[in-house]
Structure 1
Amino acid sequence: MNYFIMTQDERIAQAVVPTGVFDVLRPEWLTPDYQEELDEAILQFDLKPKRENVYLDFLDRPIPLYSDRLKELIHKFAPRLFAKSVVLADQERVRQDVYWLLVLPRVACLSEQSEFHPNGALKRLVIEGANVKRHTIFQVEGIREPHIIIDLRLAEALLRRDFFGIRLKKVEHV
Structure 2
Amino acid sequence: MEYFILRQDQSIQNPIIPLKTSEAFDDDFVYSSVFAEVVEKENALYLDYLDKPQRIVSDDLKKLLVKYEDNIDFTAIVFTDVKKGTQRLYWLIDIVKKNCISHETTYTPDGLIKELVISPKKVELDCIFQVDTDKESFTIVNLDVAESMLRRPFLGFQLQRVRLEKQ
TM surpasses 0.5 = yes
More strand by share: 2
Which residue of structure 2 aligns with residue 33 of structure 1? none
CA–CA separation in structure 2 for the residues paired with 1:93 and 1:166? 26
Q: What SS class does the counterpart of residue 63 from structure 1 fall into? A: coil
Cα distance, 1:24 vs structure 2? 2.6
**Aligned amino acid, residue 3 of structure 2:** Y
Equivalent residue number for residue 30 of structure 2: 38
Q: Deviations over 1:135-171 (max 9, x none)?
A: 1111113353121100011111111222122211101
In structure 2, the CA distance between the partners of 1:163 and 1:55, relative to structure 1 (3 Å rule), is same
RMSD: 1.6
Residues 158-173 of structure 1 correspond to what in structure 2 (within 5 A)?
Answer: 158-173=149-164
- AA in 1 matched with 2:88: D
DSSP-derived class of the 2:121 partner? helix
Question: Cα offset for 1:54?
Answer: 0.7
**What aligned pairs does 1:80-99 form with structure 2 within 5 A after superposition?**
80-99=71-90
Counting helix residues as a fraction of each chain, which structure ranks higher? 1
Unmatched 5+ stretches in structure 2? none
Q: Is the 8 Å Cα contact of residues 44 and 89 (structure 1) preserved in structure 2?
A: yes
| Alignment counterpart, residue 151 of structure 1, candidates 123, 142, 145 | 142
Answer yes or no: is the 8 Å Cα contact 1:108–1:142 preserved in 2.
Answer: no
TM-score by length of 2: 0.91
* 2:48–2:156 CA contact under 8 A, matched in 1: yes
- In structure 1, list runs of 5 or more residues that go unmatched: 30-36
Deviations 1:99-142 (A, max 9, x none): 00110011010011112223222222111111110111111133
Deviation at 1:49, TM superposition (A): 5.0
